[in-house]
Chains A and B, each alone.
Chain A
Amino acid sequence: MDGLQVSTAVVDDARSVVSLSGELDMATADLLWAELEPVLQPGRTVVLDCARLEFMDSTGMRVLLRASRRADEVGGAFQMTAVPPPVERVLALAGVTSEIPRG
């Protein structure tokens, strides 16, 4: 069980990149939220780099939607980049593809 690795890089005052590697599922979703919540700040764009994300389920997807909503609430931005097909598939099946912008 590989789990999920999350690393956050602060690019500058206005931008952070959170990179995921491994599997975002019901066991690891809380870990991602714990990483994302502190960086979802006013005026800050948080880009979630999914290039090495191998799996995501509906619990993981809920964290992304929550992050997107939080960014809207505080006046920041939340984007995804390099989204692999299995991850796009979950977003499409849930009908939320357009809810998270792509960076």
Chain B
Amino acid sequence: MAEPVPQQMTASNSGEATGGPAGLAGSPVRVIVPADKTYVALVRSAASHLGARLGLTMQELTDLRLAVDEACGLLLLPGEFDTTGAELHCRFDEYPDRLAVTVSAEASESAPDVDGFGWNVLSALVDELRWSYQDGWARVELVKRATAAER
């Protein structure tokens, strides 16, 4: 499903988590699916897998799954971003203490409904959240931190 990930574990979880992905993988995991609601389950599965590798607690994993689902919803549901592209691009950057997720699709100029259930549920689930529209692409970026990794 995803590209093979090099197994180069770093030695510590010391929290030096600035800069590029210094964590489990040297390159991001990219999952590209048709821009269709049917495939969001596949994106959730990928997020669960990567979150488990990060050592998220059950509660954090539950929240990550839901957050990634809601982020996809902001690109696929009516009343949100006006996606025109045929593909949904999901990028996962693994860090020692967090997972950064970007979901994007080609879209006409538009914005998500930040007063809606989707955005509000999403903002309660993650540590960082933003949306953007640039050069014909709508993006939702989120960061989920692992509390257990901060040891």
Interface of A toward B, CB cutoff 8 Å = 1-3, 23, 25-27, 55, 57-59, 61-62, 85-86, 89-90, 93-94
Any chain A CB within 8 A of the CB of B145? Answer: no
Any chain A CB within 8 A of the CB of B52? Answer: no
Interface of B toward A, CB cutoff 8 Å = 37-42, 44, 62-63, 65-66, 69-70, 72-73, 76-77, 117-118, 120-121, 124-125
Do the beta carbons of A2 and B70 come within 8 Å of each other? no
Do the beta carbons of A94 and B120 come within 8 Å of each other? yes
Interface of B: prevailing SS: helix
26 of the cross-chain contacts (CB-CB < 8 Å) are A1-B42, A3-B41, A23-B41, A25-B40, A25-B41, A25-B44, A26-B40, A26-B69, A26-B76, A26-B77, A27-B37, A27-B40, A27-B41, A55-B69, A57-B69, A57-B70, A57-B121, A58-B73, A62-B117, A86-B65, A90-B121, A93-B121, A93-B125, A94-B117, A94-B120, A94-B121
Complex interface: chain A residues within 8 A of B120 (CB): 93-94
Complex interface: chain B residues within 8 A of A94 (CB): 117, 120-121
